Structure 1
């Protein structure tokens, strides 16, 4: 079976070989050469086949009958959806039905989900879990540069950078097959600066580790900008010819005190100066951000400040220079380009732009006035569900009971729904409370395109038949649309036929896929977007001559020092931050079904500094209750000197009483609506008497 990993945004290629035996088959996995991972696989990719072949896979639809999920036919499942959707929309209006997608869906399924919500349901309420992944970086890059692609240049240019900043990203555990790029950069003389409140496998590679207080990244960059500008490291010619807004930024920075910035960020002024000088002096440089910076209530502005630093030094649009948002989910990049977001239409078009609406209406063959308007972000959908404005929800490829902040509130809201439909491979925590569960195919069975963190579109071929009665996501959507009387708008028989329409829908948009075809992807392995024509090679490096704004200039902006929405107090004296571990992925629905991965990390934990643990009488490896204003969880303590004394860390991959999002803060970034997952105030108490 020739395929690619279903997990992170690198999208490593692999071959899985089945060896039939008398009692059961065994499997070996071999990496395949590819431009992104260069033929490497991590432990998640090596064992991904285990969940796809798991005996706990869903193989037939189930409806809640007499309080229990019972087997039903697809015909019965579709009839239930038609009956409930029709009745609810007649009573409460079209927008009483919501759609909630995922960043691991193929481009074809993501595109079709957006079309389904707006054409088959005619509802404005659609968003997806990628809102919790990329929204801060995506909105910041769009505003600063005019176009949002994960990396502005190729991964292969990383070894050419002489200074690399890794901010809020733990690549060693989240995208480990990328680490050799950074190793080669170091061999070439590069300096690596890591910004993280914890010591991680990534910070161990760094020459300088800035152990910032959680949520204070924007202020830290203000300090670095102050040194860059006042010590003569600004690239004045680049600033004058290719940016706007510099004088206002310069004035803003001049009014800040480096000592004050050091005090509020927890990073010594000498280290801030050292980091700025290292980046400023380097002939080439790159900046990477990820969830540690972005999952904040000022995530948008924090990323804008990192972009300020890239622009002020002119380190973009040339070899070995650029910015990268380290995408989390497998199709986090493509998933946000073609219509799953509340405010977007395919090709990164705006649902509020009359010309964009008219174009997509023409592609879809509907009247422009029939296209709904802008909905709300993922968490705000949960608020509307709780308020009973949304009465029914279709969840596809996501597990909102575990992935949303303030998860107790979210679960309470979902239980209020009159009709909850979940399409998944497993009985996730969300599927367990659904009224109807629809079985979907796995990555080994479901072909289609995905776009990796570079903006390289890749084709994943089907390599085995769907298990049992499970269907591809796009097949399910076509089936429901047919029941709702929209069959004429969903005539697809293959993933490729959907992609052919996606090409046209994206044509002329910011994310232009028109020049990409399945045939090209098979021959060329992958093609970068934008790719406006079939004879275009795809843009490997962006912004060499101009930025994507009409005037060709990038936008600099002044960023205020921002404090997290929730501060520590006598009652809740510690900061909590969250993240990932090597063996698991997102809410663990898939990786916890892999015997090998589950055995490596079978329970959640809380990292705490020994001095802090002593203060609160927390023994190592003891069960503890971690509590915030929103709820509590139970995890096992883990003493480590690798974390700040004012901070504890819990990973995000477990549900039930270990679900860290039961205590995270639901406060949202005012611009991109990203929740502030990475900082909240907590108290800790030992359960051992």
Structure 2
């Protein structure tokens, strides 16, 4: 290459400062795009490098390293599509908005505004999540809005709110992790789901910490732990109670902390006195000595942390399971000081911020309650509407799917989500979406849900759309835009403003850039639990991130919560004394426990990561992880196709035989749709407190597909 060619190529290279669009760490990075001007080169070259920051400290995992591949993929949607004669065909934005207006207004006039519904996502920016909630309640006037974060953080969020008076992913700073002398990781596989955090835990081990992992599988996280408790899925509440009873019996509670800063301990003590430890161990599928060793390690430690994730939370008693683990934290006084606290490991990129500002059925911006007259009046004053015009509380994400199936909801607008794959009882969800009068989807790709839509709107990617996101430790970060949108793709917030305008509500949505939306969000959150008022774009650029709550520009955000008091009116935390009901769903017909989760190379329903060749190559298809003894019992060979079936439905995947899982448990990743969708078999039962589905505990049976002989009429006989 000539020197002049090299110079031109270097000059053509674009350096984009951004952050990973995937997990809740939100690692900062640069994407250098070059090579377009090099003679004979067919495509641009990309170089990804981590940028030093307070969360990931410059680390980037394999997903972040290859995230740009989906952003530049040839399958990106670059213009709207409308269904015509049964097919999705390209159309103009004017046509798209005209069709949307016709259906949304027509349905509202005929059936009332609540016949329209909105379904959001935990990867949307704070600005878009805020605007989506405002759009539903002001432009559409519907009570029915919820989002896929309901399946991620609702159990931990409701438990934190009840126990502490506030819900934030971590009550401590990530930098505090190496100061802990014992860390309990319950139902979380950080090594695969948040790998850039793993060095914090390795550093804690180097400092002498004992790490305890509670998981039915020996994951990569469990492999690095000092103790692994392979719990029977669905029994976490009992395990937490057993650990606390041992700690109490051995005298490791902090009586001074309990008396000064908590309520409800005496009732809890009475409740635990009746607990039979041997019986509890049997229910959990563990040896009592294992539980005792873990309990004493946590109880004896001067500093300690408990972290939970979906393994504990995605259960029909997930709210109580988290609260009982929080009992451990409170009883030992391990919170509100360095090296101590509780953390819910958020899954989605903006799982924290996405649930704070209004796209959840029962919330208004700033974690205000839609059922509080005071909160409604304040937010209405910010929006310039009458409080009486704001609709009331809606229902959770899956309950919306049930209302769609029942015909109560006639239209659904999906933004940044893929509900046909991510919801439990996926067969019912698909049936319901097919019944809709109108389905509109805003996405970057033709997802499984988008393929069913009447109208599909193309949106921009993480490298093109500016906005703020809040990571798992409550640190608000600004993601700058560095790349032009492809074709006619538009920013999601722009689409909302345009749609509000075509519905005659445009004067409430006069925004020209994300910063203007954020400034209104700041005001709407002012004085709320999640107070962002003191945070600004200028400040985020200077400080590279600010913790909430941050009530004024002069104050630093709060990284370590509860140093002096909790967020309840009396300043005290509340123990839970509610008895959990361990799941007992297996039967002779369905003898195995199905649990699901994530793998390192994919994210959510895989719509983005399967467009990354480097990530797809690591996991081309779905699988079921099964113990060798269980596989032998059902005559299943490694690598062959099997069918898993529950009373709700079935799916087909390849078998992966491993001895690092319980014999009574099957594990299947959640990233695939179609016949490989694990959620065809998940049950629709919901946690009564937070409406979390029981993803981690479905009763199933399994068999190899070679037992079926198919006929032309699609029936079969067994051999």
Distance, in Å, in 1 between the alignment partners of 2:511 and 2:237 is: 46
Distance, in Å, in 1 between the alignment partners of 2:495 and 2:485 is: 13
1:82 alignment counterpart: 101
SS of the counterpart of 1:458? strand
Q: Which string of whole-angstrom CA distances, capped at 9 and with x for unpartnered residues, describes residues 421-454 of structure 1? A: 0000000000000000000000000000000000
Distance, in Å, in 2 between the alignment partners of 1:37 and 1:501 is: 30
1:208 alignment counterpart: 227
Conserved 8 A contact 2:237-2:582? no
- Please tell me whether residue 333 in structure 1 is matched to residue 333 in structure 2: no
Distance, in Å, in 1 between the alignment partners of 2:600 and 2:652 is: 21
2:573 alignment counterpart: 554
Pick aligned residue for 1:643 from 645, 661, 668: 661
1:6 alignment counterpart: 21
Q: CA deviation at 1:517?
A: 0.1
SS of the counterpart of 2:465? coil
1:665 alignment counterpart: 683
- Please tell me whether residue 369 in structure 1 is matched to residue 374 in structure 2: no
Distance, in Å, in 1 between the alignment partners of 2:546 and 2:47 is: 29
Pick aligned residue for 1:585 from 603, 609, 614: 603
- Please tell me whether residue 127 in structure 1 is matched to residue 142 in structure 2: no
Distance, in Å, in 2 between the alignment partners of 1:551 and 1:283 is: 27
Q: What's the TM-score once normalised by structure 1's chain length?
A: 0.99
Q: CA deviation at 1:85?
A: 0.8
Conserved 8 A contact 1:97-1:393? yes
Distance, in Å, in 1 between the alignment partners of 2:706 and 2:611 is: 30
1:574 alignment counterpart: 592
Superposed counterparts of 1:610-629, under 5 Å: 610-629=628-647
**Which ranges of 4 or more aligned residues in structure 1 deviate by more than 4 Å?**
none
- Please tell me whether residue 18 in structure 1 is matched to residue 33 in structure 2: yes
Conserved 8 A contact 1:104-1:330? yes
Residue range with higher mean Cα deviation, 43-52 or 227-236? 227-236
1:230 alignment counterpart: 249
1:483 alignment counterpart: 502
Unaligned runs of 5+ in 1: none
Conserved 8 A contact 2:122-2:350? yes
Q: Which string of whole-angstrom CA distances, capped at 9 and with x for unpartnered residues, describes residues 484-504 of structure 1? A: 000100000000000000000
Superposed counterparts of 1:62-211, under 5 Å: 62-211=81-230
Conserved 8 A contact 2:173-2:559? yes
- Please tell me whether residue 324 in structure 1 is matched to residue 343 in structure 2: yes
Pick aligned residue for 1:453 from 459, 472, 475: 472
2:13 alignment counterpart: none
1:604 alignment counterpart: 622
Conserved 8 A contact 1:218-1:559? no
SS of the counterpart of 1:649? strand
Q: What's the TM-score once normalised by structure 2's chain length?
A: 0.95
1:259 alignment counterpart: 278
Q: Which string of whole-angstrom CA distances, capped at 9 and with x for unpartnered residues, describes residues 645-669 of structure 1? A: 0011100000100000011111000
Distance, in Å, in 1 between the alignment partners of 2:580 and 2:321 is: 9
Unaligned runs of 5+ in 2: 1-15, 708-719
2:715 alignment counterpart: none
Q: CA deviation at 1:563?
A: 1.9
Q: Which string of whole-angstrom CA distances, capped at 9 and with x for unpartnered residues, describes residues 511-568 of structure 1? A: 000000000000000000000000111001100000000100000011424222x611
2:307 alignment counterpart: 288
2:489 alignment counterpart: 470
- Please tell me whether residue 308 in structure 1 is matched to residue 331 in structure 2: no
Distance, in Å, in 1 between the alignment partners of 2:647 and 2:475 is: 42
Distance, in Å, in 2 between the alignment partners of 1:413 and 1:687 is: 29
Distance, in Å, in 2 between the alignment partners of 1:474 and 1:628 is: 40
Aligned residues: 688
Distance, in Å, in 1 between the alignment partners of 2:591 and 2:261 is: 46
Distance, in Å, in 2 between the alignment partners of 1:582 and 1:300 is: 26
Conserved 8 A contact 2:361-2:393? yes
Q: CA deviation at 1:40?
A: 0.2
2:5 alignment counterpart: none
Conserved 8 A contact 1:193-1:207? yes
- Please tell me whether residue 240 in structure 1 is matched to residue 232 in structure 2: no
- Please tell me whether residue 544 in structure 1 is matched to residue 563 in structure 2: yes
Distance, in Å, in 2 between the alignment partners of 1:561 and 1:212 is: 16
Distance, in Å, in 2 between the alignment partners of 1:399 and 1:557 is: 35
Conserved 8 A contact 2:320-2:580? no
Pick aligned residue for 2:400 from 362, 369, 381: 381
Distance, in Å, in 2 between the alignment partners of 1:605 and 1:81 is: 39
1:409 alignment counterpart: 428
2:80 alignment counterpart: 61
Conserved 8 A contact 1:222-1:559? no
- Please tell me whether residue 360 in structure 1 is matched to residue 379 in structure 2: yes
Distance, in Å, in 2 between the alignment partners of 1:393 and 1:163 is: 46
> Given the superposition, is the C-alpha separation of residues 561 and 85 from structure 1 closer, same or farther in structure 2, using an over 3 Å criterion?
closer
Q: CA deviation at 1:346?
A: 0.1
Distance, in Å, in 2 between the alignment partners of 1:257 and 1:373 is: 45
Q: CA deviation at 1:687?
A: 1.3
- Please tell me whether residue 676 in structure 1 is matched to residue 694 in structure 2: yes
Q: Which string of whole-angstrom CA distances, capped at 9 and with x for unpartnered residues, describes residues 36-90 of structure 1? A: 0000000000000000000000000000000000111000100001100111111
Q: CA deviation at 1:688?
A: 2.6
Distance, in Å, in 2 between the alignment partners of 1:183 and 1:574 is: 34
Distance, in Å, in 1 between the alignment partners of 2:320 and 2:649 is: 29
- Please tell me whether residue 400 in structure 1 is matched to residue 419 in structure 2: yes
SS of the counterpart of 1:600? coil
SS of the counterpart of 1:606? strand
Conserved 8 A contact 2:651-2:676? yes
Pick aligned residue for 1:50 from 69, 74, 86: 69
Q: CA deviation at 1:155?
A: 0.2
Distance, in Å, in 1 between the alignment partners of 2:500 and 2:511 is: 11
Distance, in Å, in 1 between the alignment partners of 2:46 and 2:231 is: 44
SS of the counterpart of 1:240? helix
SS of the counterpart of 1:17? strand
Q: Which string of whole-angstrom CA distances, capped at 9 and with x for unpartnered residues, describes residues 262-293 of structure 1? A: 01011111111111110000000000000000
- Please tell me whether residue 349 in structure 1 is matched to residue 376 in structure 2: no
1:504 alignment counterpart: 523
Q: Which string of whole-angstrom CA distances, capped at 9 and with x for unpartnered residues, describes residues 575-603 of structure 1? A: 11101100000000000010000011000
Q: CA deviation at 1:225?
A: 0.8
SS of the counterpart of 2:329? helix
SS of the counterpart of 1:588? coil
Distance, in Å, in 2 between the alignment partners of 1:200 and 1:518 is: 40
Conserved 8 A contact 2:316-2:686? yes
